[in-house]
Amino acid sequence: MHASISRIGLALFLLYTLLYGGFVLLNVFWPKSMEATPIAGVNLAILYGFGLIGAAFVMALIYGVASRPAPPSREQL
Amino acid sequence: MIHSGSWLAVLVFLAIVGFTLGLSYLLGKQARSSAGYFAAHGQIPWFVNGVAFAGDYLSAASFLGICGMIAFHGYDGFLYSIGYLAGWIVALFVVAEPMKRLGKFTFADALNARFESPGIKRAVGVSTLAVSVFYLIPQMVGAGVLVQPLLGLSHWIGVLMVGAVVIFIVVSAGMVSTTWVQFIKGSLLVFFSTVMTVLILQRGFTVDPSPPQPQTITTTAEGQVLINGLPKGVGPGEATLQPVGSIARLPGGETSTGPLGPIAFLRTLQDSEIVLWRGATTKGDDGSTTTTFSPKVTPGSQVLRPGESPKFKGIRSENWFDKLNFLSLMLALFCGTASLPHILIRYYTVKDEAAARKSTIVGIGCIGFFYVLTLYMGLGAMTSGALDVTDENMAAPLLARSLSELLFAIISAIAFTTVLGTVSGLILASAGAVAHDLIGSIPGVQLTDGQQVRIAKLASVVVGVIAIVLGILFQKLNVTYLVGWAFSVAASANLPALVMLLFWPRTTKQGIIAAVIVGMTSSLAWILLSADTFTQVYGLPAEGAWAPFSQPGIVTIPLGFLTLVVVSLMTKPRQPA
User: Tens digit of pLDDT for each residue in B319-336?
Assistant: 888 899 999 999 999 999
Provide the pLDDT for residue B104. Answer: 74
Q: SS3 for B576?
A: coil
Give me chain B's average pLDDT, please: 86
CB < 8 Å to B305, chain A: 31, 34-35, 43, 45
* B449 has pLDDT over 50: yes
C-alpha B363/C-alpha B480 separation (Å) is 20
* B570 has pLDDT over 90: yes
Provide the pLDDT for residue B346. Answer: 86
Residue B266 Cα, gap to closest chain A Cα (Å): 6
**Nearest C-alpha in A relative to B322:** A28
* B29 has pLDDT over 70: no
CB B124 within 8 A of CB B372: no
Please name which of B122, B125, B168, B69 lies closest in space to residue B483, comparing C-alpha atoms. Answer: B69
User: With bands split at pLDDT 50, 70 and 90, how would you rate the model's confidence at B31?
Assistant: low
Provide the pLDDT for residue B545. Answer: 87
Q: SS3 for B215?
A: strand
- pLDDT, average across residues B38-57: 87
Query: The sheet that has B225-227: what strands, in order across it?
Result: B230-231, B225-227, B215-219, B289-299, B273-283, B246-249
Q: What is the secondary structure of A36-50 as a DSSP string?
A: ---BTTB-HHHHHHH
Amino acid at B311: K
ipTM, 2 dp: 0.90
Which residues fall within 8 angstroms of residue B413, CB to CB, at 6 or more apart?
B9, B12, B13, B15, B16, B17, B150
CA distances from residue B159 to B140, B231, B467, B470, B471 in whole angstroms, order as listed: 5, 27, 9, 9, 6
**Nearest C-alpha in B relative to A68:** B354
Question: 10 Å Cβ neighbour count for B462?
Answer: 14
* B4 has pLDDT over 60: no
Q: Who has greater pLDDT, B280 or B522? A: B522
| Ranges of chain A with pLDDT below 70 | 1-5, 70-77
Provide the pLDDT for residue B198. Answer: 96
- pLDDT, average across residues B218-244: 83
Q: Which of B80, B88, B93 to mutate to test the interface with A (most CBs of A within 10 A)?
A: B93
Quick check: A23 and B82 CB within 8 A?
yes
CA distances from residue B246 to B254, B273, B292, B379 in whole angstroms, order as listed: 14, 9, 18, 11
Tens of pLDDT along B363-384? Answer: 999 999 999 999 999 999 999 8
**pTM (predicted TM-score):** 0.88
Provide the pLDDT for residue B88. Answer: 92
* Helix boundaries (H) for A1-77: 3-29, 44-66
Beta bridge partners, B283, equal: B289
Percent with pLDDT over 70 in chain B: 95
- pLDDT, average across residues B383-405: 82
Residue B232 Cα, gap to closest chain A Cα (Å): 40
Please name which of B336, B318, B274, B295 lies closest in space to residue B70, comparing C-alpha atoms. Answer: B274
CB B297 within 8 A of CB B250: no
**Nearest C-alpha in B relative to A41:** B267
Provide the pLDDT for residue A1. Answer: 47
Q: Who has greater pLDDT, A36 or B421? A: A36
- Strand B289-299 versus strand B273-283 pairing type: antiparallel
Q: SS3 for B385?
A: coil
- State the count of interchain CB pairs (< 8 A) between A and B: 114
Quick check: A24 and B330 CB within 8 A?
yes
Quick check: A24 and B266 CB within 8 A?
no
* B493 has pLDDT over 80: yes
Provide the pLDDT for residue A72. Answer: 64
Which residues fall within 8 angstroms of residue B558, CB to CB, at 6 or more apart?
none
C-alpha A34/C-alpha B485 separation (Å) is 26
C-alpha B110/C-alpha B102 separation (Å) is 5
Provide the pLDDT for residue B149. Answer: 64
* B491 has pLDDT over 70: yes
Q: Who has greater pLDDT, B383 or B451? A: B383
- pLDDT, average across residues B423-442: 83
CA dihedral B90, A17, B361, B373 (to 10 degrees): 110
Tens of pLDDT along B261-276? Answer: 999 999 999 999 999 8
Least confident of B291-295, B443-447, B532-536: B443-447
Quick check: B90 and A31 CB within 8 A?
no
Quick check: B267 and A67 CB within 8 A?
no
CB < 8 Å to B327, chain A: 24, 28
Q: Who has greater pLDDT, B481 or B258? A: B258
**B371–chain A Cβ distance below 8 A for any pair:** yes
**What's phi and psi for B248, nearest 5 deg?**
-90, -35
Provide the pLDDT for residue A2. Answer: 47
Chain A residues within 8 A (CB-CB) of chain B?
1, 9-10, 12-13, 16-17, 20, 23-24, 27-28, 31, 34-35, 37, 40-43, 45-46, 49-50, 52-54, 56-57, 59-61, 63-64, 67, 69
- pLDDT, average across residues B192-201: 94
- pLDDT, average across residues B169-188: 82
